[in-house]
Amino acid sequence: MQTPAPTVTVSKKVLWTGRIMSALSVLLLLFSAVMKLANLPGLASGFAHFGIPISQAFGLGVLEFACAVVYMIPRTSFLGAILMTGYLGGATATNVRVGDPCYIPVILGVLVWGGLFLREPRLRALIPLKSQTPSLKD
Protein backbone atom coordinates (compact mmCIF):
# COMPACT_ATOMS: atom_id res chain seq x y z
CA MET A 1 0.00 0.00 0.00
CA GLN A 2 1.09 3.48 -0.76
CA THR A 3 0.71 6.08 1.96
CA PRO A 4 -0.26 9.58 0.87
CA ALA A 5 2.37 12.27 1.18
CA PRO A 6 1.71 14.81 3.91
CA THR A 7 0.09 17.99 2.69
CA VAL A 8 2.09 21.13 3.34
CA THR A 9 0.32 24.44 2.96
CA VAL A 10 2.17 27.49 1.72
CA SER A 11 1.02 31.06 2.40
CA LYS A 12 0.76 33.47 -0.51
CA LYS A 13 3.63 35.58 0.82
CA VAL A 14 5.93 32.56 1.06
CA LEU A 15 4.84 31.34 -2.37
CA TRP A 16 5.52 34.73 -3.99
CA THR A 17 8.86 35.05 -2.20
CA GLY A 18 9.83 31.67 -3.65
CA ARG A 19 8.66 32.68 -7.11
CA ILE A 20 10.66 35.90 -6.97
CA MET A 21 13.79 34.08 -5.77
CA SER A 22 13.38 31.51 -8.54
CA ALA A 23 12.75 34.17 -11.18
CA LEU A 24 15.81 36.10 -10.09
CA SER A 25 18.02 33.03 -10.33
CA VAL A 26 16.60 32.14 -13.77
CA LEU A 27 17.07 35.70 -15.06
CA LEU A 28 20.69 35.79 -13.88
CA LEU A 29 21.43 32.44 -15.51
CA LEU A 30 19.68 33.43 -18.74
CA PHE A 31 21.60 36.72 -18.80
CA SER A 32 24.85 34.80 -18.46
CA ALA A 33 23.77 32.35 -21.18
CA VAL A 34 22.86 35.13 -23.61
CA MET A 35 26.22 36.80 -23.03
CA LYS A 36 27.95 33.55 -23.96
CA LEU A 37 25.70 32.78 -26.93
CA ALA A 38 26.03 36.32 -28.34
CA ASN A 39 29.82 36.25 -27.88
CA LEU A 40 29.80 39.79 -26.52
CA PRO A 41 32.98 41.88 -26.38
CA GLY A 42 35.05 41.13 -23.31
CA LEU A 43 33.91 37.52 -23.16
CA ALA A 44 37.23 36.24 -24.52
CA SER A 45 39.24 38.07 -21.85
CA GLY A 46 36.95 36.71 -19.12
CA PHE A 47 37.36 33.18 -20.40
CA ALA A 48 41.13 33.65 -20.70
CA HIS A 49 41.23 34.81 -17.06
CA PHE A 50 39.63 31.52 -16.01
CA GLY A 51 41.83 29.48 -18.35
CA ILE A 52 38.88 28.30 -20.46
CA PRO A 53 39.11 28.34 -24.26
CA ILE A 54 36.64 30.77 -25.85
CA SER A 55 35.49 27.90 -28.08
CA GLN A 56 33.71 26.52 -24.99
CA ALA A 57 31.51 29.62 -24.58
CA PHE A 58 28.73 28.52 -26.92
CA GLY A 59 28.40 25.09 -25.28
CA LEU A 60 28.36 26.60 -21.80
CA GLY A 61 25.72 29.11 -22.91
CA VAL A 62 23.52 26.32 -24.26
CA LEU A 63 24.01 24.38 -21.01
CA GLU A 64 23.05 27.40 -18.89
CA PHE A 65 20.01 28.05 -21.05
CA ALA A 66 18.90 24.41 -20.85
CA CYS A 67 19.33 24.31 -17.06
CA ALA A 68 17.22 27.45 -16.67
CA VAL A 69 14.46 26.11 -18.93
CA VAL A 70 14.31 22.76 -17.11
CA TYR A 71 14.15 24.62 -13.77
CA MET A 72 11.30 26.89 -14.99
CA ILE A 73 9.03 23.97 -15.90
CA PRO A 74 7.12 22.98 -12.74
CA ARG A 75 7.21 19.23 -13.47
CA THR A 76 10.98 19.27 -13.96
CA SER A 77 11.97 21.97 -11.45
CA PHE A 78 13.73 19.46 -9.15
CA LEU A 79 15.86 18.18 -12.02
CA GLY A 80 16.56 21.77 -13.07
CA ALA A 81 17.69 22.65 -9.54
CA ILE A 82 20.02 19.65 -9.50
CA LEU A 83 21.45 20.56 -12.91
CA MET A 84 21.90 24.18 -11.89
CA THR A 85 23.62 23.06 -8.69
CA GLY A 86 26.12 21.05 -10.72
CA TYR A 87 26.76 23.94 -13.08
CA LEU A 88 27.15 26.44 -10.24
CA GLY A 89 29.44 24.04 -8.40
CA GLY A 90 31.72 24.09 -11.42
CA ALA A 91 31.57 27.89 -11.51
CA THR A 92 32.45 28.02 -7.82
CA ALA A 93 35.39 25.67 -8.32
CA THR A 94 36.61 27.72 -11.28
CA ASN A 95 36.51 30.92 -9.23
CA VAL A 96 38.34 29.27 -6.33
CA ARG A 97 40.98 27.86 -8.68
CA VAL A 98 41.96 31.31 -9.97
CA GLY A 99 41.65 33.00 -6.58
CA ASP A 100 38.52 35.03 -7.32
CA PRO A 101 35.69 35.42 -4.80
CA CYS A 102 33.09 32.71 -5.26
CA TYR A 103 30.09 34.31 -3.60
CA ILE A 104 28.07 34.93 -6.80
CA PRO A 105 27.58 31.27 -7.80
CA VAL A 106 27.01 30.33 -4.14
CA ILE A 107 24.34 33.02 -3.72
CA LEU A 108 22.77 31.94 -6.99
CA GLY A 109 22.63 28.35 -5.73
CA VAL A 110 20.95 29.53 -2.52
CA LEU A 111 18.39 31.43 -4.61
CA VAL A 112 17.73 28.33 -6.75
CA TRP A 113 17.11 25.98 -3.83
CA GLY A 114 15.56 28.59 -1.53
CA GLY A 115 13.10 29.62 -4.21
CA LEU A 116 12.21 26.02 -4.97
CA PHE A 117 11.83 25.22 -1.27
CA LEU A 118 9.48 28.13 -0.70
CA ARG A 119 7.28 27.51 -3.75
CA GLU A 120 7.25 23.72 -3.85
CA PRO A 121 5.23 21.88 -1.17
CA ARG A 122 6.75 18.51 -2.17
CA LEU A 123 10.23 19.75 -1.25
CA ARG A 124 8.95 21.29 1.98
CA ALA A 125 7.49 17.89 2.90
CA LEU A 126 10.82 16.17 2.18
CA ILE A 127 12.90 18.68 4.14
CA PRO A 128 10.90 19.90 7.11
CA LEU A 129 12.79 22.70 8.83
CA LYS A 130 10.75 22.44 11.98
CA SER A 131 9.90 19.30 13.89
CA GLN A 132 6.68 17.58 12.91
CA THR A 133 6.43 15.70 16.20
CA PRO A 134 6.21 17.26 19.64
CA SER A 135 9.39 16.99 21.68
CA LEU A 136 9.39 15.23 25.03
CA LYS A 137 10.68 17.35 27.88
CA ASP A 138 11.59 16.04 31.29
Q: Identify whether 25 is part of a domain.
A: yes
Number of structural domains (the chain) is: 1
Q: Identify whether 3 is part of a domain.
A: no
Q: Identify whether 53 is part of a domain.
A: yes
Q: Are 96 and 83 in contact (CB under 8 A)?
A: no
pLDDT in tens, 103-130: 999 999 999 999 999 998 888 888 777 6
The per-residue pLDDT for 138 is: 47
Range of the domain at 109: 12-125
Name the maximum alpha-carbon separation found in the chain: 67
Choice among 23-32, 99-108, 123-132 with the minimum mean pLDDT: 123-132
Interior angle at CA 12, CA 22 and CA 2, nearest 5: 80
Q: What is the mean pLDDT of residues 38-50?
A: 91
pLDDT in tens, 56-97: 999 999 999 999 999 999 999 999 999 999 999 999 999 999
Q: Identify whether 64 is part of a domain.
A: yes
The per-residue pLDDT for 11 is: 83
The per-residue pLDDT for 5 is: 56
CA distances from 49 to 13, 44, 59 (A): 42, 9, 18
Q: Identify whether 7 is part of a domain.
A: no
Q: Identify whether 88 is part of a domain.
A: yes
Q: What is the mean pLDDT of residues 12-38?
A: 94
